[in-house]
Amino acid sequence: MSHIVHVAVQTPAHSAVGDLLSYRSDEELTPGTLVRVPLGKREMLGVVWDQPASAEPIPEGIELRGIAGVLEGIAPLSQDWRRLVAFAAHYYQRSVGEIAVSALPPHLRDMTPEQLARRLAPPKAAKTKATNPKSRNQKAQAETIEETTVAVAEVVATTATISLVALSAEQALVFEQIEQQSGPFLLYGSTGSGKTEVYLRAVQAVLDANPQAQALVMVPEINLTPQLEERFVARFTPQYGKDAVVSMHSGMTNPQRLKSWLAAHTGRARIVLGTRMAIFASVPQLALIVVDEEHDASYKQQEGARYSARDLALWRGRAVGAKVILGSATPSLESWHASTPEVGRYLRLNMPSRIGSASLPRVRMVDMTQQPKRAVFSPPLLDAITERVKRGEQSLILLNRRGFAPVLFCADCSWKSDCPHCSAHQVFHKGDRTLRCHHCGFTQRVPFACPSCGNPDIMPLGKGTEQLQEELERLLRNVQRPDGNPARVGRIDADTTKAKGSLEQQLAQVHAGDVDVLVGTQMVAKGHDFRRITLVAAVQPDSALYSSDYRAPERLFCLLMQAAGRAGRDAQYVTAQDSHPEMWIQSHDAQNAVYAALRKHDYPAFAKQQLQERLDAGMPPYAFQAIVRADARTQEAAQAFLLAATQVARDANLPYLDEVFIYPPSPWPCSVWPMWSAPRCCWKPPTAAPCCAF
């Protein structure tokens, strides 16, 4: 007998086909079953959604296409998982099929049920029929999804017991509260206060309490997963086996992703580590979710189906009764607000002290209005860097702008290197003599002369990391390291790390001490444990203070705090050399409240001041905002469209519209541009994450 099944399929965007499609099936299918179904001429992956098939007989005269196959061997996705997908689809205004299918490993989409069955076959089964050449092939395939974690697991498995460090008093208190309260928790702890150790203990506690329990631990960036994975593998695989810890992030191959996904889905994996995409993992026995660096913008998916993995973590935790821990040294103002006693939605846990005697760096402000004009490095900062080089210590110089100069300029006719395809400037890259638009990606060769008046003397305006490196090499050319060699200046940014593995390689050079001064963008400010860096300097951080993006000061503060956290990680090293770690800030607005709070490492003071501003301006978290964004070749076209959309909203007489404030259309705010170019409008959004992506 035939049944109707409703299947969530990724239909073409804006096709108005609807969320769920009806198919015919000869057998009853449990909701959550993975199937392949025909759609037009193609065959697609789908998930059987609610309504048991038997409830609906096919009405007379209706022809339905049959499902093409069931992905046997994979248990149906749970109702909890489907609820999460349905919620996200509704909240972020996408189709259920789009969210559901994009949340599954890509390999499932590409494989036929037969291929999958082969992939799922245990290698042993293949071995018994090894005489058959086809089966040998099967075995090889099964082995390709085994990966390198085996080696790691074997090494640690020989260590029979793990000796745990004694928790600090602050850690112990926090851990006890996580045990006794239901949360959600905001763990507010300085960099190096031992938050990761608390996560490890909290995970241990839920795994110990229930032999099926699983934990999901999220980090903002792929670069941070290997470090974390190492710690979790070392801690948990001796007790729970080599499959207990799996990773999920977009840097993995499709077979690896499928393998991790299956391990989590079947419950074999007890701990899933991942980036934002991991929030949609099928984790049937989820008991704990950790969101590390919860303030990080990377938790927001900004392209395609948008979502905030942090917000979904809170929703998912509540829906399934899993504890949720958000952790940060500089929480998002939303989370901070939610954890104030007055609001009380999250329980705030404090760990103000760094572990051991590692101290937070002293913050040194340089008032640039009192320094020689045009100097990128003020004399006192240059002296401090020089001193470090001579002592064999490292310095980290931060600038939020890659390339050599943000724009080329002709003094004769005022020509500027504007991008012909959008309204951003094209950035001058000296290394390969190109002009590149960091917004739309358009790239061309540097002209030999001004394209508008022929003047051969076009010049770079402003500074990027490439120029900073060049300038430092010149300024430090006569400075020697303790070993008598000349000072070495390195650079790490999106341009130097394009090739696979190059970031790791360059970081290794820093760790090995091959670099004395490292110039970099925010890429290097996050998470990395640079043991020998005793000086961090932000040379031109001011532009974020005047950005029209109300989150820019928050991002700046957090970036500088994080960067400061890079200095003096190794107390032993610092005290042995008798030098105090320092964070230098060059500013034309040295009295600004943001810097005043930073000087005292006083996040609460910063948050208080910013929240007051948000309250006064009616901004989140005191109001909800939605952005309607239009992209167009010209500002006029985008503006006209948005004005028309405003009118439609008003004419439609939507409920509660009188409580909604509709802002007039305005250009996309962009805090990366230096002040002198601020009036330019950008109607084309950046290709990567907005603003902070350089």
Instruction: Enumerate binding residues for ligand ADP (CB under 6 A).
Output: 165-168, 171, 189, 191-197, 355
For the CB of residue 196, give the shortest distance to ligand ADP in the complex, in Å.
3
Among Zn ion, ligand ADP, none, partner that 452 touches (CB below 5 to 8 angstroms by kind):
Zn ion
Task: Compute CA 481 distance to the chain's CA centroid, rounded to the nearest angstrom.
Answer: 37
Other CB atoms closer than 10 Å to residue 248's CB: what's the count? 26
**472 versus 559: smaller Cβ distance to ligand ADP:** 559
Among ligand ADP, Zn ion, none, partner that 16 touches (CB below 5 to 8 angstroms by kind):
none
Q: Which residues contact 487 (CB under 8 A, 6 or more apart)?
A: 389, 476, 477, 479, 480, 481, 516, 517
Stretch that binds Zn ion, among 37-45, 171-179, 447-455, 597-605 (CB under 5 A): 447-455
Residue 408 makes contact with Zn ion by CB under 5 A: no
Among ligand ADP, Zn ion, none, partner that 168 touches (CB below 5 to 8 angstroms by kind):
ligand ADP
| First vs last C-alpha separation in the chain | 59
The C-alpha angle with vertex 85 and arms to 79 and 87, in degrees rounded to 5, equals 100
Q: Measure the CA–CA gap between 693 and 646, rounded to whole angstroms.
A: 30
Q: Which residues contact 313 (CB under 8 A, 6 or more apart)?
A: 216, 218, 279, 289, 291, 324, 326
Q: Measure the CA–CA gap between 14 and 275, rounded to whole angstroms.
A: 28
Among Zn ion, ligand ADP, none, partner that 415 touches (CB below 5 to 8 angstroms by kind):
Zn ion
Q: Which two tokens stand for residue 287?
A: 């008991």
Q: What are phi and psi of 567, to 5 degrees?
A: -85, 140
Burial 128-163 (b: 16+ CB within 10 A, else e): eeeeeeebeebbebbeebeeebeebbeebeeeeeee
**86 versus 355: smaller Cβ distance to ligand ADP:** 355
For the CB of residue 448, give the shortest distance to Zn ion in the complex, in Å.
12
Among ligand ADP, Zn ion, none, partner that 439 touches (CB below 5 to 8 angstroms by kind):
Zn ion
**75 versus 632: smaller Cβ distance to Zn ion:** 632
Residue 450 makes contact with Zn ion by CB under 5 A: yes
Other CB atoms closer than 10 Å to residue 164's CB: what's the count? 11
Is the link from the previous residue into 621 a cis peptide, with omega within 30 of 0?
A: yes
Among Zn ion, ligand ADP, none, partner that 165 touches (CB below 5 to 8 angstroms by kind):
ligand ADP
Among Zn ion, ligand ADP, none, partner that 7 touches (CB below 5 to 8 angstroms by kind):
none
Binding test (CB under 5 A) with Zn ion, winner from 2, 102, 135, 452: 452
> Residue by residue, what is the 3-state secondary structure of 50-107?
CCCHHHCCCCCCCCCCECCEECCCCCCCCHHHHHHHHHHHHHCCCCHHHHHHHCCCHH
The C-alpha angle with vertex 237 and arms to 236 and 241, in degrees rounded to 5, equals 130
For the CB of residue 411, give the shortest distance to Zn ion in the complex, in Å.
8
For the CB of residue 219, give the shortest distance to ligand ADP in the complex, in Å.
11
Instruction: Considering only residues 424 through 443, tell me which ones interact with Zn ion, judged by CB under 5 A.
Output: 424, 437, 439-440, 442
For the CB of residue 466, give the shortest distance to Zn ion in the complex, in Å.
19
**230 versus 514: smaller Cβ distance to ligand ADP:** 230
CB distance 553 to 610 below 8 Å? yes
Residue 411 makes contact with Zn ion by CB under 5 A: no
For the CB of residue 348, give the shortest distance to ligand ADP in the complex, in Å.
16
Q: What DSSP string runs through 462-473?
A: S--HHHHHHHHH
For the CB of residue 153, give the shortest distance to ligand ADP in the complex, in Å.
21
Residue 83 makes contact with Zn ion by CB under 5 A: no
For the CB of residue 497, give the shortest distance to ligand ADP in the complex, in Å.
23
Give the strand pairing for 434-436 and 443-445. antiparallel
**194 versus 464: smaller Cβ distance to ligand ADP:** 194
For the CB of residue 298, give the shortest distance to Zn ion in the complex, in Å.
23
Among ligand ADP, Zn ion, none, partner that 192 touches (CB below 5 to 8 angstroms by kind):
ligand ADP
Q: Give the residues lining the site for Zn ion (CB under 5 A).
A: 410, 412-413, 415, 419, 421-422, 424, 437, 439-440, 442, 450, 452-453, 455
